[in-house]
Amino acid sequence: MSDPTNDKDWRAKLSPDQYRILRECGTEPPFSGKYYHHHELGTYRCAGCGAELFSSDSKYESGSGWPSFFSAMNPAAIRQIEDHSHGMHRTEIRCAKCDGHLGHVFPDGPAPTGLRYCVNSVALDFSVAKQTD
């Protein structure tokens, strides 16, 4: 992509659903995303820029309707922003590299962090873990 801040470039790179979620802070319907019941071993990356965000080792079934993780692979890869939209107080999470909207983080997750990163499947790509001998 020539200029990651250029809206025309984003529209050309992303599907309409990816654009709506990553660039316009949309949300996919609960229980509809391709990674909600996904159990392969590997790495979840930002669908906008490919940055590594979450490992399958931190994924768990939260019952929320979206893929949930109790920790990020690298906390610096995720930017947190206070979100007061829709009459709620939440913490939005964005990819620190491309500023794509991922979802929200909540303080109701399991040990060891107590966090629930609630992420839109459309905002993610997945890379299968390489087999070691």
What is the DSSP code string of 29-40? PTT-STTTT---
> What are φ and ψ of residue 19, in 5° steps?
-60, -45
Tell me the per-residue pLDDT of 51-81, one tens digit each, with 9 for 90 and over. Answer: 999 999 999 999 999 999 999 999 999 999 9
Query: Predicted confidence band at 128 (pLDDT cuts at 50, 70, 90)?
Result: very high
In 3D, which of 110, 123, 107, 93 has the Cα closest to residue 22? Answer: 123
Global confidence as pTM: 0.90
Residues recognised as catalytic: 118
Distance separating alpha carbons of residues 26 and 111, to the nearest angstrom: 29
Tell me the per-residue pLDDT of 89-118, one tens digit each, with 9 for 90 and over. Answer: 889 999 999 999 999 999 999 999 999 999
pLDDT at 41 (0 to 100): 96
Distance separating alpha carbons of residues 93 and 41, to the nearest angstrom: 23
Peptide bond into 4 cis (omega under 30): no
Where do the domains of the chain lie, and which CATH numbers do they carry? 7-128 (2.170.150.20)
Percent of the chain with pLDDT over 70: 93
